[in-house]
A and B are shown apart, each in its own frame.
Chain A
Amino acid sequence: MPEPLKTSRRQFRNISIVDLTRYRFPIGSIVSILHRASGALMFLLLPFVLWMLDQSLLSETTFEYFKGVTSGWFVKLVLLVLIWAYLHHFCAGFRHLLMDMHIGLNKVTAKQSAIITFAVSLTLTAMIALKLFGAF
């Protein structure tokens, strides 16, 4: 095999946590790491989601109790984070599926779709946040 060209460019191999602060994240990689982070978060909050489903279906009494618990600002904030995680994971996943089908793989389109992913997920999250905290 021919020797690869030697460049003076910094090489990142097996980067550690400390390297992350000096690492430039293109927008596509931010979508990607948040896809993973949001997935991990939803996995950790799975018992909370099942608990909510349980309480909301068990009886009219537990339904009212569930409504009471989820009307507090802290629980609303947790719900909002969960909703953001879902929306981001959904949009980034949709982008992932398109890329699996070799749609939008070039650098320019990939950057655009990353921006669209954030635009859609964050706009929807903001709208739900306004609804959740009673702006309308």
Chain B
Amino acid sequence: MADDNIGHHRMVVGAHYGLFDWLAQRVTALIMAAYTVILLIAFLISDGVGYEGWAGLFSHQWFKMLTFAMFVGLFYHAWVGVRNILMDYIKPIAIRLLLQVFTILWLVACTGWTIQILWRA
């Protein structure tokens, strides 16, 4: 099948989620890169490396929202990456599916934890 799956013989059936995930992985990468730059700048212009400056930065609503949006992007990015790894290396379908479900549950749980961390105060 592999040798035949090129050119006009290419298989065109499937779930068609490939392009969306491919694009989502790149868009989320850009969001995380932009956040890294914003965090570095905000950290450098804030007063010192103490608790006051650090917690002060995360006390603004806009920064909480920005951080949360970045984390959701990160979790989606991680899902696409981990799914690719599982598809490449874990061949038994039952184990692969189990690990994929665990990954999704884990990332959803981490989203909840992130909300708690950011909006506790």
Query: Quick one: closest B residue to A90, CB to CB?
Result: B33
Closest chain A residue, CB of each to CB of B9: A1
**Residues of B contacting A25 with CB < 8 Å?**
none
Question: In the bound complex, what is the Cα–Cα distance between A58 and B116 (angstroms)?
Answer: 10
Complex formed: what's the CA distance from A93 to B118 in Å? Answer: 28
In the complex the two chains form, what is the Cα distance from A43 to B58 in whole Å? 23
Task: Using known A-B contacts A39-B81, A63-B55, determine if residue A54 contacts B36 with beta carbons closer than 8 Å.
Answer: no
Provide the bound-state CA to CA distance between A40 and B80, in Å: 11
Which residues of A sit under 8 angstroms from B114, Cβ to Cβ? 50
For residue A63, which residues in chain B have a CB less than 8 angstroms away from its CB? 51, 54-55
What is the size, in residues, of chain A's interface with B at 8 Å between Cβ atoms?
21
Is B113 close to A, CB under 8 A?
A: yes
Chain B: which residue is nearest A44 at the CB level? B82
Residues on B close to A: CB < 8 A? 26, 29-30, 33, 36, 51, 54-55, 58, 78, 81-82, 85, 110, 113-114, 117-118, 120
Residue A97, interface by CB 8 Å: yes
Main secondary structure of the interface of B (DSSP, over half): helix
Chain B residues positioned under 8 Å from A56 (CB to CB): 51, 54-55
Of the residues A39, A47, A53, A97, contact of B117 by C-beta under 8 Å = A53
Q: How many inter-chain residue pairs (CB < 8 Å) link A and B?
A: 46
CB-CB contacts below 8 Å: A18-52 with B: 36, 39-40, 42-43, 46-47, 50
Asked if A57 is at the interface of the complex by the 8 Å CB criterion, the answer is yes
Taking the closest CB of chain A, its distance from the CB of B39, in whole angstroms, is: 11
Residue from A36, A60, A100 within 8 A of B51 (CB atoms): A60
Which single member of B54, B55, B82, B118 contacts A40 (CB below 8 Å)? B82
* Contact between A93 and B117, CB atoms less than 8 A apart: no
| Partner among A43, A50, A53, A90 whose Cβ is within 8 Å of the Cβ of B36 | A90
Of chain B, the residue at the smallest CB distance from A97 is B26
With a cutoff of 8 Å between Cβ atoms, the chain B residues found around residue A53 in the complex are 117
Q: How far is the CB of A69 from chain B (nearest CB, A)?
A: 15
CA of A97 to CA of B30 in the docked complex: distance in angstroms? 9
Residue from the list B33, B58, B81 in contact with A57, Cβ < 8 A: B58
| B54 engages A57 (CB within 8 Å) | yes
